[in-house]
Amino acid sequence: MTEIPKTHPRYESLRVRELLVEGVEYGITSKAGLIAHGRGEAFDYLIGEKTIEPARLAERAALAALFSARNPVISVNGNVVALVPEETVKLAERSDAKIEVNLFHRTEERMHRISSRLEEYGGENILGLQPDAEIPGLDHARGLCSEEGIYSSDVVLVPLEDGDRAQALSKMGKTVVTVDLNPLSRTSRTADITIVDNITRAFSNMRELEPLGGSFDNDKNLSKVLDFMSNRLSELSEKGLQKR
Ligand code: ATP
Ligand code: MG
């Protein structure tokens, strides 16, 4: 791993990029995953690379949904496991959720590497390796899942997910929770609870935050995110960008 000096002004962002590059080298993350991360980073700039209030609210609502679920499942892919393997295992323990590996570019080797990485962090009974069910409406490879996990889940946390799959899960009647820095993505607009935050912050916040039950209006919360972004851009534009 390239040594990044801690004094570098973009240390955190570079550190996270290195995790993904390492993920590709270990056969955990796909090359396309690097591009997806870049898209996320661009939106992170717009919120100032910190957890904003609507994100914190969604994180608390997500915890409440997971805690009250009958069969909560956290669906992970190569980006999630490269970035937050330990936090994923801890969140699963905290919410009594199962972890299932579900890949856009499914290969048996990546499935195994991802699941072993989670096991290194204490993950147990990782699902998805022997799929025995299919999500309706997706083509065969992308729809594969496990009966006891995603297929029969009532609440499914699908961070960094593709819009098609989020929509297919929603059509199955599941409560879909996502983490996605792009408030305009199809996934963000499909989910019941969208956390617009970097997964590195979201999952670490969710180890500590208190759940907040009751009604959660995702459209309204996404509007707040868009308002935050546009107000921030207006303020920056008024102040001038020179001093940043
Ligand atoms: P959609 O399919 O939902 O319309 P998309 O095609 O733009 O979105 P995908 O590659 O399918 O994007 O999904 C990945 C999503 O994850 C993107 O919206 C991206 O912004 C987001 N993302 C990537 N990295 C992170 C991260 N570290 N934290 C949070 N979100 C991220
Ligand atoms: Mg997509």
Domains in the chain (CATH in brackets) are 53-229 (3.40.50.12640)
Residues 6 or more apart whose CB falls under 8 angstroms from that of 234 comprise none
What's the pLDDT at 8?
86
Backbone angles phi, psi at 77, to 5 degrees: -130, -170
Mark out the alpha helices in 84-198 (DSSP H runs). Answer: 85-95, 108-120, 140-143, 163-171, 186-190
d(CA 174, CA 192): 9
Q: Would the CB of 199 count as within 6 Å of ligand 1?
A: yes
Residues 62-101 have pLDDT tens digits of: 999 999 999 999 999 999 999 999 999 999 999 999 999 9
What's the pLDDT at 12?
87
Instruction: Check pLDDT > 60 for residue 244.
Output: no
Would the CA dihedral through 18, 41, 10, 57 be positive or negative?
Answer: negative
Separation in Å, CA 211 to CA 57, 61, 62, 63, 207: 9, 6, 7, 5, 10
Residues 6 or more apart whose CB falls under 8 angstroms from that of 129 comprise 101, 111, 112, 115
What's the pLDDT at 239?
86
At 97 the three-state DSSP class reads: coil
What's the pLDDT at 141?
86
Q: What residues are paired with 155 via a beta bridge?
A: 72, 175
Q: Which of 5-19, 29-43, 67-81 has the lowest mean pLDDT?
A: 5-19
Q: How many residues does the chain have?
A: 244
Q: Would the CB of 202 count as within 6 Å of ligand 1?
A: no
Measuring from atom 16 of ligand 1, which residue has the nearest CA? 160
Residues 158-188 have pLDDT tens digits of: 999 999 999 999 999 999 999 999 999 999 9
Measuring from atom 6 of ligand 1, which residue has the nearest CA? 162
Q: What residues are paired with 144 via a beta bridge?
A: 134
Q: Would the CB of 218 count as within 6 Å of ligand 1?
A: no
Instruction: Check pLDDT > 90 for residue 240.
Output: no
Measuring from atom 14 of ligand 1, which residue has the nearest CA? 160
CB 100 within 8 A of CB 128: yes
User: What separation in Å is there between the alpha carbon of 163 and the centre of ligand 2?
Assistant: 5
DSSP H or E segment with residue 162: none
Q: Would the CB of 160 count as within 6 Å of ligand 1?
A: yes
Tracing tokens 């889940």 back to the chain, one arrives at: 153
d(CA 24, CA 33): 9
What's the pLDDT at 16?
92
What's the pLDDT at 242?
64
Instruction: Check pLDDT > 60 for residue 241.
Output: yes
CB 194 within 8 A of CB 178: yes
